[in-house]
Each structure stands twice: as structure tokens, then as C-alpha cells.
Amino acid sequence: MKYTPSLPEKNDNISDHRHPLVQLFILLVSLGGIFLLVFWLLVFFVDMAVKSISMENEAKIYTQIGELWDYEFPADPIKPELKTLVDQLIACTDIPYPITTRIIDDDDVNALALPGGNILLFAGLLDSVRSENGLAFVIAHELGHFIHQDHLRGMGRGAVLMALSIAFTGADSNISKFLTPTSQFAQAQHSQKAESLADQTALKILNCHYGHIGGATEFFDWVKNMPKGSLQKLEKVSHYFSSHPQVEKRINALHHFSNTHNFIMGEVRRLAKETQD
């Protein structure tokens, strides 16, 4: 036996000689693609299931969390003028459960619809709108979320997302972080669609209550025409628009929808000082 000193010409112990970044890219695209595909498929079933749940049953689901909102958002008592407006708008919908409106003493130009028929109006919003119709549109938009059962859909999507993240990556895995942008992309798409639908419903409610849709774009116009220097205020508004379609796009969509439904513009009512206070 003789020893011949030599080194191997190539390293057979490394199977994949592609650049690590290329490997990462291929793996990420594949994982993201499969994740989105399964996510959308499951979400399709969630949406089907939501359709079969009546609004009455949906309200029952939320009875448990009603007290939580009382604790989280201790509401200021709302003015009778505002309550009347909200009640009149509800009369234009088929929402079977009571709606509670809360004023939050905060500068945020924001409004939220919380599960269980709770609408939060931030003081900053009341200061920003000029007409009753403008405010009515924002409230009607939040009512639109209740009509479309968006919270139930959101909960369903949240459950699907959590289940998929765990199934794909394990409960506490580093690669779940890769799925963050993918899931945010999927969620944002849903949110934008939900916001557009809520806008359309708001127009219908506005038309039902006033007989016209005057003042519908007032709030968006205010945001659009805001001076560019007022960044601080923009930040507060941006929260409301974070999952919403861009303002310009949203205004155009409103005009388009009102044109196709032959809604007419009319005189807006000045917002009563008492409502704003």
C-alpha cells in the first residue's frame, strides 16, 4: 500500500453551490407563495362561514367583550343632538342590536367601530368636521363595518393567520418573522376592500337619511387640503388611514359610486355647536 498525497479537485461535501442569497430568495418566494395560497383559500371559507352567521348571533358572540370596552374606553356621555343623529342613521340600516357611541377626549382625528356595536368618536374628529353631513358620513362608515360584519371577518382572518403561522413555522420560530410582511400584505388588501365597502354603505345611509349625499367627502377633502407643514396632525390622521385606501383614490371611488347610483348632492347642514362641544 502506498500513500499518494493529493487534495480533492472539488468539494463534494457541499451539495448546493448556489449563492446563499439566491437560495434565500428562492426559499422565501416559495414559502410566501404557499402561505398566501393557503391563507386565501382558508379566508374564502371563513367569509363563507361569516355569511351564514346572522347579525343577531354575531351580537351574542360579542356580549362577553362589551364590558371590556367599558373598562378600556370610559366614554363621555354624548350630547342628545349627536345621539339623535346616530339613531336616525341607524334607522336607515338593518342592524338589529343597539349601538353605543362614545366620545374619546383625544386630539386624534379618528373614529373606530369596535365589536359589539361600539362606535368611538375622537374629539379631534368632531373639531375637524364642519357640517353635520360630514360627521354623519364618518358615523355611517363605521355603521357600514357592522353591516358587513367586518369584525367577525377580522376575527376569522386573525385566527387563520395565527393557525397558519404556527403550522408553517412552529409557535416560536424565527421564520415566522418572514411571514410578517406577507400576512400584512394579505391583511391590508382585505382592510382596503372592507373600507371601500363601508364607504359605499355610508353613501347609501347618507342618501337614505338626507335624501342626498352632500358632505360625504368633506372629511377626506379636509385631509387632502391640509397644509403640508402640519405633520404632527397628519400623523394623527394617518392612523385612521393606515389601512384605508389613499384619500384621493377614496374620494374618486365615492364620486364614481354616487354617479352609478344616481345619488345627488345637496345642501349640507351646519354642525350644531352643541354637538361639537
Partner 1 sequence: MGQFVLFLILMTLGYLFGHYAEKKHYKSINKREKELLKLPVISCKNPIGNKSISHVKLSYGNVVISVDYFKRILASLYNFFGGNIRSYETLLDRARREAILRLKESVTDADQIINLRIETSSIYKGKGNSIGSVEVLAYGTAVYFEKRNQNR
Q: Which residues bind partner 1 (CB under 8 A)?
A: 1-3, 5-7, 11, 13-16, 18, 20-21, 23-24, 27-28, 30-31, 168-170, 172-175, 177-178, 180-181, 184
Whole-angstrom CA distances from 68 to 16, 103, 251 are: 54, 16, 35
For residues 20 and 77, which CB has a smaller minimum distance to partner 1 in the complex? 20
For residues 28 and 95, which CB has a smaller minimum distance to partner 1 in the complex? 28
For residues 28 and 226, which CB has a smaller minimum distance to partner 1 in the complex? 28
Smallest separation, CB 40 to partner 1 (Å): 19
Smallest separation, CB 151 to partner 1 (Å): 23
Smallest separation, CB 20 to partner 1 (Å): 6
Helix (H) or strand (E) holding 103: strand 100-104
* Phi, then psi, of 101 in degrees rounded to 5: -105, 135
For residues 7 and 48, which CB has a smaller minimum distance to partner 1 in the complex? 7
Smallest separation, CB 1 to partner 1 (Å): 5
The side-by-side arrangement of strands in the sheet containing 100-104 is 100-104, 118-122, 111-114
Q: Give the 3-state secondary structure of residue 170.
A: coil
Smallest separation, CB 250 to partner 1 (Å): 23
Smallest separation, CB 215 to partner 1 (Å): 35
By CB atoms closer than 10 A (0-12, 13-18, 19+), residue 144 is buried
Burial 164-183 (b: 16+ CB within 10 A, else e): bbeebbeeeeeebebbeebb
Burial 188-218 (b: 16+ CB within 10 A, else e): eebbbebbbebbbbbbbbbbebbebbbbbbb
For residues 145 and 244, which CB has a smaller minimum distance to partner 1 in the complex? 244
For residues 180 and 189, which CB has a smaller minimum distance to partner 1 in the complex? 180
